[in-house]
Amino acid sequence: MGVSNADFSFRNEELVPLAKLLRDQYTQDEADFVDLLPRVYTKNFLPDYDVRLKAADAVVSAKLGQGQSAAFGARMAETQAALPALLNRLEARARRAEGLTVPLKALGVQAVRDAYKLQDRERLDTALKLLLRNLDDNAAALDDTGHTPAETAKLRTLHQSLMSDSAAQDASQTNSQRLTAANVTVLNHLYAAMQHVLKDGKSLYRGVDAARLKGYTVKELLKRVRQTRGDTGEA
């Protein structure tokens, strides 16, 4: 997916690998560039290029966090799907348990069920903590009805998995939200330097060295990037 208001038409995640390929090509031909434009291609050119490249890489990494966020969401949905059956079994056994330290309604089953229906993660976290604490406190009474320590452990693992993925998703979404107009400017800043190299490379090798000329053609560089990624789709 391209970036809105970007100066390039290919996908934003292709910019950094393309810039790295162009950098490699430039370093091979640096002497020719210095000879052509000695006041432009000074000892400061590559350090400046690398600063732009590093900044763009950070922006693109944040953008890719959006896909990671969706993956975490899908995994949490799959994990949560096991809750209803676990709660139903637990509730049936808790109804028949004798000597519970809390009333059945306060055990926490319904609180977890309500939070699950609302898809409220903070509320679900609180409800599961309460339920698990009550299960630990009433392990003996529940064991007499068939509820096993393994089933409590399964609920605890489910809770830990949900909260871990939720925290990871929150961090991923925070990174993604940083893609502002300023971020697009960072990408364009790198591309501006790349355009100079691309144009000057064409000036050096057009009609002179066809093989080298390919290294300064966006189409050819994109082809290499997509082959490396196993992606032949168009931008």
Instruction: Tell me what pLDDT residue 62 has.
Output: 64
Q: What is the Cα Rg of the chain in Å? A: 29
Which residue, 74, 235, 43, is CA-closest to 162? 74
Given 132, 160, 176, the domain boundary residue is: 176
Average pLDDT score over residue span 92-108: 95
Asked whether the predicted pLDDT for residue 115 surpasses 80, the reply is yes
Q: Are 94 and 104 in contact (CB under 8 A)?
A: yes
Given 144, 160, 176, the domain boundary residue is: 176
Is 193 a member of any domain?
A: yes
Average pLDDT, the chain: 87
Residues 82 and 168 in one domain: yes
Is 2 a member of any domain?
A: no
Is 108 a member of any domain?
A: yes
Given 176, 195, 219, the domain boundary residue is: 176
Is 142 a member of any domain?
A: yes
Residue linked to tokens 């810039």: 19
Domain membership of residue 49 as a residue range? 12-74+179-229
Instruction: Tell me the pLDDT tens digit for each residue of 168-208.
Output: 666 655 555 555 677 889 999 999 999 999 999 999 999 99
Instruction: Tell me the pLDDT tens digit for each residue of 143-165.
Output: 999 999 999 999 999 998 888 87
Asked whether the predicted pLDDT for residue 1 surpasses 50, the reply is no
Domains: count for the chain? 2
Q: Find the helix or strand (DSSP H, E) in which 21 lies.
A: helix 12-28
Distances (CA, A) of 145 to 73, 106, 140: 35, 18, 9
Residues 100 and 85 in one domain: yes
